């Protein structure tokens, strides 16, 4: 029919365009796969070369047959002794695991503690508790200092990672004089427990801590990994209970990452979404076994899982067992979750990525809104973390706030700290990280509440003086748009994950309809307990313990080997061959991992990539359609209406912000300390509640950002008496010469002094043409902030359509 011809041509054009895009996508996937395989092979050959050169050099040395015989004899005797000690250490690991299980898997804190509150007795019970850390001998806490509350991850393992050793988050806070509390949890969840119950319990813990320390500021909340997003949920649910939030290695934007670097993000798509977690929960009689999560972690690095950590123990069996056994006691403690808990986590975080979108509901119709968080936030991530890559730790900021102006308009302070190399577990347990990063974070906590809203990059600088290493913190103002530097492809590779979410919902619905009723009817609690006991993560421990009668002679043999232990020559040919064999084994497993991950990534994009064709115009960073003038935001509008209103404290804060605006955008912790020592008590912020102080700083920062010239001209009107003007001049005189100032700041100081001159009539001071260029209002030299990106609108419309259907 003639009337349908345009539609037919349009459909044909769309089909042709789709086919072309499909071909390009397949070509790109093939190219990336080939590049990854080539890179993996090159890494393998480099490892072979690095391992072979020392062995070839060692074997090329001439030696007599007698020397070779002696070397071989000594090596095999040493090898036999190390083998006995190695297996005896594994036997001790098994015994420790059994003892830990019998004891109920208590938290592995390296500090004494006492119970404060048990959430199992709450109206909505949860398997959580609040404990107070008892300071060790020689350390006293100051009741006037704000308390620290540390939430450890409930991601398969038990609690205690934040206080695993003396040099830890707990240890650093105690040494700084802060009272410390830890949120622990028990192995089995309460019947019917949900993630909302957990968040309510953690909020109640914060309320209790606040009541125990009524004279201090609100508690600092430390969240590790899963405990990081749990801390953010509490901050969003009860923002008035929380002080500064520090989240370490915490995944917040689960789709984020880079191709070829972060294979774990593909797991949800390759496994089909939510249904495997539901199946595992049903086979566990309604409980999800944390051993599966630990298995996923170990999957990422097969070389370490199956060889490296054991060879390290074997090669250093005289010194390594204590560290090995200490870590394995925590690594082998597996905790459970309810079916509803793991389902919420997988649906809303791993697969749905709903947290930053504001679609993660904690009860029907009530979602967590991270914009409700009022406290400053510190994000700590590492480039060496393959479980929570930096993109997953930081990208939620760009999802939540499209521009820097939007972040500032919400009054938020966010500080990002990036480590260059430490791995995921090292973020929490490394003694070096505790001494360097966590010590500086703890020191910075007392100052970040007086920062104006914005995004800051944090660097820990070190220098030697008098034979000792000293640290300082440098804060640099950043823009939200700068986060794009973490990405290779402007986040376009996240589009297929939307298809994963849709497929997951379909498969989960099918599973719930046809499979769940059958399995839940035949699985018994006793059978589930037996399956958990036979899980490889557990069986490898109890099978190599004193429960095994074949290993009973092992302890006596180990004692004999220790009593007759012989040293070895680490430069001997036999030892070099051992090291070469170990290096080749590890390199081969790394090659397998790289090829496997490349194949998984290729399969993921071949499966879900075609569904993203045509989405290019609605990509995460596509040009949005609507613009919003941030000046019309409620907080900004209110502040600009009071440019000429205020008192002495607000005048001093405004003057400080004007001077900072003319600076480099950098703030040093040492300089902030010096300024507080010089004039801190005179300003008045330290004596008022933190919320009021933050409100003053936020309001004045808006005035200075959007109307800097008017802010300066109106400064005398905030100081209505000669005494107030004189006091500000005295403060400026006290600061000048004690802190570094550039030429613009020197000129601005002179202009402020002129405006505050006592010979001007009170209230009649008028600003002359200013001899320096104040930075213009953000709305005059930057694009207008966007309400939300096109992809965010599309996703919300998509979810509303699914909900209505």
**Percent of residues, the chain, with pLDDT higher than 70:** 89
Q: Quote the CA–CA distance of 134 and 546 in Å, as a whole number.
A: 35
Three-state DSSP at 535 gives: coil
Residue entry with tokens 């250490």:
89
The mean of the pLDDT values for the chain is 87
Lowest mean per-residue pLDDT among 20-34, 73-87, 267-281, 536-550: 20-34
Give, for 511, the enclosing helix (H) or strand (E): helix 496-514
Three-state DSSP at 461 gives: strand
Q: Quote the CA–CA distance of 593 and 587 in Å, as a whole number.
A: 10
CA dist list (Å): 326 to 93, 331, 632: 9, 9, 56
| CB hemisphere CA count around 582 (13 angstroms) | 16
**Percent of residues, the chain, with pLDDT higher than 90:** 63
Nearest 5°: phi and psi at 419?
-90, 150
- Contact between 96 and 108 under an 8 Å Cβ cutoff? The reply is no
Q: How confident is the model at residue 571 (pLDDT cuts 50, 70, 90)?
A: confident
Provide the b/e sequence for 604-630 (b: ≥16 CB within 10 Å): bbebbbbebbebeebbbbbebeeebeb
Lowest mean per-residue pLDDT among 449-453, 724-728, 772-776: 772-776
Joined together, the tokens standing for residue 593 give 């991992």
Q: What is the pLDDT of residues 623-650, one digit of tens each?
A: 444 455 788 888 899 999 999 999 989 9
Q: What is the pLDDT of residues 96-106, one digit of tens each?
A: 999 999 999 99
CA dist list (Å): 761 to 17, 733, 773: 74, 22, 27
pLDDT of residue 614: 57
Q: How many CB atoms lie within 10 A of CB 284?
A: 23
According to DSSP, the residues that pair with 379 across neighbouring strands are 247, 416
Q: What is the pLDDT of residues 393-432, one digit of tens each?
A: 999 999 999 899 999 999 999 999 999 999 999 999 999 9
Q: How many CB atoms lie within 10 A of CB 299?
A: 14
> Over the Cα atoms of the chain, what is R_g?
30
Q: Is the pLDDT of residue 201 over 80?
A: yes
For every residue of 234-298, DSSP letters joined together read HHHH-GGG---EEEES----TT---TTT-GGGGHHHHHTSSHHHHHHHHHTTSEEETHHHHHHHH
Lowest mean per-residue pLDDT among 3-7, 21-25, 592-596: 3-7
> Which residue did the predictor score with more confidence, 711 or 63?
711
Average pLDDT over residues 191-198: 95
Provide the b/e sequence for 419-452 (b: ≥16 CB within 10 Å): beebbbbbbbbbeebbbbbbbbbbbbbbbbbbbb
pLDDT of residue 772: 45
Joined together, the tokens standing for residue 306 give 């199956």
Q: How many CB atoms lie within 10 A of CB 486?
A: 21
Residue entry with tokens 């398997």:
127
> Which residue did the predictor score with more confidence, 766 or 719?
719
> Which residue did the predictor score with more confidence, 758 or 805?
758
Nearest to 328 by CA among 194, 468, 164: 164
Joined together, the tokens standing for residue 57 give 């050099």
> Which residue did the predictor score with more confidence, 617 or 282?
282
Nearest to 661 by CA among 733, 538, 747, 768: 747
> Which residue did the predictor score with more confidence, 633 or 14?
633
Q: What is the pLDDT of residues 513-523, one digit of tens each?
A: 999 999 999 99
Q: Quote the CA–CA distance of 398 and 747 in Å, as a whole number.
A: 36
pLDDT of residue 362: 78
């Amino acid at each position: 029919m003639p009337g349908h011809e345009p539609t037919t041509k349009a459909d044909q054009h769309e089909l042709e365009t789709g086919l072309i895009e499909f071909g390009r996508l397949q070509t790109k996937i093939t190219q990336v796969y080939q590049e990854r395989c080539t890179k993996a092979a090159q890494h393998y050959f480099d490892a072979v070369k690095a391992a072979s050169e020392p062995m070839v050099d060692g074997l090329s040395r001439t030696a007599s047959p007698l020397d070779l015989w002696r070397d071989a004899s000594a090596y095999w005797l040493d090898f036999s002794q190390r083998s006995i000690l190695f297996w005896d250490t594994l036997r001790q690991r098994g015994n420790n695991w059994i003892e830990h299980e019998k004891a109920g898997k208590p938290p592995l804190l390296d500090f004494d503690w006492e119970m404060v509150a048990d959430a199992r007795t709450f109206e909505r019970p949860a398997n959580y508790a609040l404990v107070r850390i008892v300071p060790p001998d020689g350390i006293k806490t100051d009741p006037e200092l704000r308390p620290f509350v540390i939430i450890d991850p409930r991601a398969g393992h038990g609690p205690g990672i934040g206080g695993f050793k003396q040099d830890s988050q707990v240890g650093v806070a105690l040494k700084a004089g802060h009272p410390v509390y830890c949120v622990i949890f028990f192995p089995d969840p309460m019947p019917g427990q949900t993630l909302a119950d957990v968040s309510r319990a953690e909020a109640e813990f914060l309320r209790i801590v606040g009541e125990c320390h009524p004279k201090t500021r609100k508690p600092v909340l430390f969240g590790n990994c899963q405990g990081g997003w749990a801390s953010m949920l509490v901050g969003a649910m009860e923002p008035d209970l929380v002080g500064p939030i520090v989240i370490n290695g915490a995944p917040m934007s689960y789709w984020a990452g880079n191709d070829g670097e972060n294979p774990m993000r593909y797991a949800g798509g390759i496994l089909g979404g939510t249904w495997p977690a539901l199946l595992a929960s049903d086979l566990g009689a309604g409980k999800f076994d944390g051993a599966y999560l630990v298995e996923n972690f170990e999957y990422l690095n097969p070389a370490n899982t199956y060889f490296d950590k054991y060879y390290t123990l074997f090669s250093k069996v005289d010194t390594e067992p204590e560290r090995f056994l200490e870590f394995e006691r925590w690594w082998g403690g597996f905790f459970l979750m309810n079916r509803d808990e793991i389902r919420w986590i997988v649906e809303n975080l791993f697969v749905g990525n709903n947290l930053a979108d504001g679609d993660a509901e904690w009860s029907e119709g009530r979602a967590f809104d991270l914009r409700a968080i009022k406290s400053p936030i510190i994000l700590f991530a590492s480039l060496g973390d393959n479980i929570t890559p930096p993109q997953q730790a930081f990208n939620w900021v760009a999802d939540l706030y499209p521009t820097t102006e939007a972040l500032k308009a919400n009054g938020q302070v966010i500080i990002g700290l990036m480590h260059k190399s430490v791995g995921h577990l090292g973020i929490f347990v490394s003694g070096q990280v505790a001494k360097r990063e966590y010590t500086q974070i703890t020191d910075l906590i007392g100052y970040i509440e007086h920062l104006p809203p914005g995004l800051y990059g944090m660097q820990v600088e070190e220098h030697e003086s008098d034979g000792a290493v000293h640290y300082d913190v440098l804060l640099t103002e950043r823009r939200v748009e700068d986060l794009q530097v973490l990405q290779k492809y402007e986040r376009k590779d996240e589009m297929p994950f939307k298809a994963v979410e849709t497929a997951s919902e379909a498969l989960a619905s099918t599973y719930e309809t046809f499979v769940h009723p059958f399995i839940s009817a035949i699985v018994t609690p006793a059978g589930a307990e037996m399956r958990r006991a036979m899980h490889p993560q557990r069986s490898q421990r109890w099978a190599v313990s004193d429960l095994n009668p074949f290993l009973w002679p092992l302890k006596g043999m180990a004692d004999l080997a220790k009593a007759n232990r012989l040293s070895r020559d680490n430069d001997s040919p036999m030892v070099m061959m051992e090291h070469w064999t170990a290096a080749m084994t590890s390199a081969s497993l790394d090659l397998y991992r790289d090829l496997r991950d490349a194949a998984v990534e290729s399969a993921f994009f071949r499966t879900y990539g075609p569904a993203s064709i045509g989405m290019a115009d609605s990509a995460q960073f596509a040009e949005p359609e609507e613009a919003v003038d941030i000046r019309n935001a409620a907080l900004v509008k209110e502040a600009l209406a009071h440019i000429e209103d205020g008192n002495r404290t607000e005048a001093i804060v405004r003057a400080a912000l004007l001077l900072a605006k003319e600076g480099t955008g950098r703030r040093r912790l040492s300089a902030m300390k010096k300024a507080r020592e010089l004039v801190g008590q005179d300003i008045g912020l330290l004596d008022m509640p933190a919320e009021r102080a933050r409100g003053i700083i936020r309001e004045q920062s808006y005035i200075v950002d959007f109307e800097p010239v008017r802010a300066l001209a109106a400064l005398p009107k905030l100081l209505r008496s000669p005494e107030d003007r004189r006091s500000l001049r005295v403060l400026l005189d006290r600061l000048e010469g004690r802190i570094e100032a550039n030429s613009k700041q020197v000129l601005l100081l002179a202009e402020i002094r002129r405006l505050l001159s006592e010979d001007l009539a009170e209230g009649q001071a008028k600003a002359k043409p200013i001899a320096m260029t104040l930075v213009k209002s953000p709305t005059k030299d930057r694009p207008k902030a966007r309400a939300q990106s096109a992809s965010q609108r599309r996703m919300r419309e998509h979810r509303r359509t699914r909900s209505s259907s």
